[in-house]
Amino acid sequence: MSAIVSSPKLKKFRAKYPLLILRPGIAGGHLGRLQKNPSSLSWELANPAVRAEVVSDVIQSIETMALPYFAQFEELSTLMPRIIEDELQAFEANDVIDFLMCFADKESARLAAKNFFSRKPDLIPEYKKHLAFFDKPESRQPYDHDHVGLATASYIYGFGDLVNE
């Protein structure tokens, strides 16, 4: 079971940038990914003897995992500082940057990207490699992985090199 946060406003924003991956959602995914310690969740509904109990467990999981996760996106004034400084489970860095560019500003988005590399310096070499692709127009194409998506963001949003200043 999945729980996805989506935004028509962000979808429209992303459509202005051909190098961005146009995904319907911005955060979320499999219900188990929404937890601080992600896990795989599954339910077996085939057995009629335990079906009511299983359905009750599914409902409880939605109420305790999905709904609180969604609620974080209802109050942007508390969400924004959190995603600039730290990670939010099941909210990928490249989606955070697009979100901040759409709902906040370039400075906040750039700071969130820099903070991502402070937390994950092992991804810097790949980021640098993909950032160099944007020097050649024929190499420019949408990418979806954090370090590569951040290279795309550096290019399209004019961040410059996020790790060497």
- Taking all residues of the chain, what is their mean pLDDT, rounded to a whole number? 89
Residue-wise pLDDT for 89-119, tens only, equals 999 998 999 999 999 999 999 999 999 999 9
Best CA proximity match to 4, nearest among 70, 85, 76: 70
CB 112 within 8 A of CB 100: yes
Residue-wise pLDDT for 117-154, tens only, equals 999 999 999 889 888 887 766 555 555 555 677 888 89
